[in-house]
């Protein structure tokens, strides 16, 4: 098994109102909004993708029979999720997309270069332009409330 880079292998798509938020179809993904963006324009900043992960918890189960305290699986929490994009001074198709306004819901599918994808139901909480006076490309951030994903499903 060889290691690989995500550059040029990653696809990340926002699907507005899929029939099944846990498993968008291939046609729905094709019709969705490409979140990776375009070269030298509005594009996803690789090192700034946050979240898209879950944190399990455990619940202690003490009883009167033994001194040892066992544990059972508890709730699964979805980590805070954000995407950061470079701002394009000509066009911002992702930022301006009418189906991706604050408060809108949909599913973000992530494919790392294979036949299986992850489907993350999301609500767009905010889209904020970051202002900086430094010698740095201007960016904007999308904050998401993500639900529990369907990991490694094969789109129909």
pLDDT per residue of the chain (156 residues) written in tens, 0 to 9: 565 556 667 889 999 989 999 999 999 999 999 999 888 888 888 888 899 999 999 999 999 998 999 999 999 899 999 999 998 888 888 888 888 999 999 999 999 877 889 999 999 999 998 887 778 888 999 999 999 899 888 888
Return the domain boundaries, the chain: 11-153
- 12: which strand partners? 110
pLDDT, residue 7, reads 65
pLDDT of residue 98: 86
Return left, alpha or beta for 152; rule: phi > 0 is left, psi -120 to 50 is alpha, else beta: left
Please tell me the predicted confidence (pLDDT) of residue 71. Answer: 93
Region 11-153: CATH code? 2.40.30
Which residue, 144, 19, 9, 154, is CA-closest to 84?
Answer: 144
Q: Which of 9, 6, 7, 11 is nearest to 35 (CA)?
A: 11
């Amino acid at each position: 098994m060889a290691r690989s880079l995500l550059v040029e292998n990653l696809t990340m798509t926002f699907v507005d109102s899929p029939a099944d938020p846990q498993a968008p179809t291939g046609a729905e993904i094709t019709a969705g909004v490409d979140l990776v963006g375009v070269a030298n324009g509005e594009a996803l900043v690789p090192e700034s993708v946050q979240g898209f992960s879950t944190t399990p918890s455990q619940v202690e189960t003490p009883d009167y029979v033994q001194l040892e305290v066992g544990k059972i699986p508890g709730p699964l929490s979805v980590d805070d999720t954000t995407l950061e994009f470079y701002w394009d001074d000509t066009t911002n198709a992702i930022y301006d997309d009418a189906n991706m306004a604050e408060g809108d819901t949909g599913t973000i599918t992530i494919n790392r270069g294979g036949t299986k994808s992850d489907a993350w139901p999301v609500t767009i909480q905010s889209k904020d332009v970051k202002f900086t006076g430094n010698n740095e490309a201007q960016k904007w951030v999308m904050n998401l409330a993500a639900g529990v994903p369907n990991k490694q499903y094969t789109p129909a």
